[in-house]
Amino acid sequence: CLCLCLQIVVLLLCCKEHSADISCRNGAGEPVDWCFIIYKLPRYKIGEVASGVDYMYLDSSVGSWQTSNFQSRISREHTETALYGKGLQDQYFPQSKISLYALYNDYSLCLTLVCVTEKAWTVVCAHPAGVLLFDHSQGFWLSHSIPLLSSFPERGYLYPSSGKVNSHTALCVTYEYQQFLCIVKQMSYLYPRFYNCSVPATFLAELLLLAQLCEGTIPLLPSERRMEQLFSLRGEKFFSFVKSEQFLDDIYTGWVAPVLDADLLVETWQRLGHELPSNCSLPKHTMNIRRIQLPASALFHSHYDHSKWCVPRAYEDQLNCLGDLNRERAQMWHGAGLLSSFNPVIYKAFREVVDWYIGC
């Protein structure tokens, strides 16, 4: 059956029929400034085998996690053809002469054969997944943790069945056009695997770099890492941390924790035997979360959670970061990043779901 998660990602991409502004949108189709559109729950919760398609929802218009009710009022068939297929194709891609889009995924089906060896994977392939979509006025940057999620308007739209097993998150933020000039510079450090791009000629004067990235050109970077301050359409402040594959360290321990001056609780996909242990040797500690408790009795272990995020342990440090990397030794060789916010609503929503972590 069609995964409900399909609906969730689509809600970020679909707009109202007569709306001219490209924006993140909530479940009702209304524009929102920032939108943690999902915390998709895993199939294997503690003491329960679930559907693998349930999810929680949070955006700038609500103050806490909301349980989705879209499954009851949108048929699977309508979701597949109208929302994910026809909605995206008819409402965005025909605007390709006036809008730009770039979709990327490290595990995209069309790129699997590129990354066939450990060496090729660590040097060539970055770990992020997401979508850039904007015009000369505004647009959104969507990042998510769903491998093999591929969108081709000419081929239809595919949500992988593998997406049901683990938890995933997706974050969407709406920005003015000028902010995307900074975001594209950040992308050059990530060097994501773009699999579907359209960069019209009207954008090339300012965004030639993105066109080159879409073609697979490896950029020359002045440093191993870069931090950029970004502002959403309504002025919400974010910090973007990005590192190239040349920065050979755990991004949480070696960079983000000392810059934020905080002891971090980190949730990443912790495959048994592969994870880095909690780091208690540096002035700012990095501690692995092992169990998550979302509302409605959604309790599960981190090895069933493919999301990547962190929060400070101390409640007075009200910030949150969502990112692209697991705390694994092999992933220190990946290009990836984190987007950090200082919104107390976001911090509270994520800090309260930490059920158990390995402390110092």
pLDDT one digit per residue (tens) for the chain, 360 residues: 333 443 444 444 443 333 468 888 776 777 888 776 789 889 899 999 888 878 888 888 788 898 875 443 333 333 333 233 333 444 445 455 689 999 998 754 434 333 333 333 334 444 688 899 999 999 999 998 887 766 665 565 566 777 789 999 989 999 999 999 999 999 999 888 898 899 999 999 999 999 999 999 989 999 999 999 999 999 999 999 999 999 999 999 999 999 999 999 999 998 777 789 999 999 999 999 999 999 877 899 999 999 999 999 999 999 999 999 999 988 888 889 999 999 999 999 999 999 999 999
Type of residue numbered 7:
Q
Q: Is the dihedral of CA 12, 16, 20, 26 positive or negative?
A: negative
> In Å, how far are 112, 241, 301, 314, 354 from 298, measured between CA atoms?
33, 30, 10, 24, 12
Domains of the chain, by residue range, sit at 5-357
What residues pair up with 311 in beta bridges, in sequence order?
Answer: 265
C-alpha span between 359 and 273 (Å, rounded): 18
The pLDDT value recorded for residue 129 is 87
Residue 94: which residues within 8 A CB-CB, separation 6 or more?
none
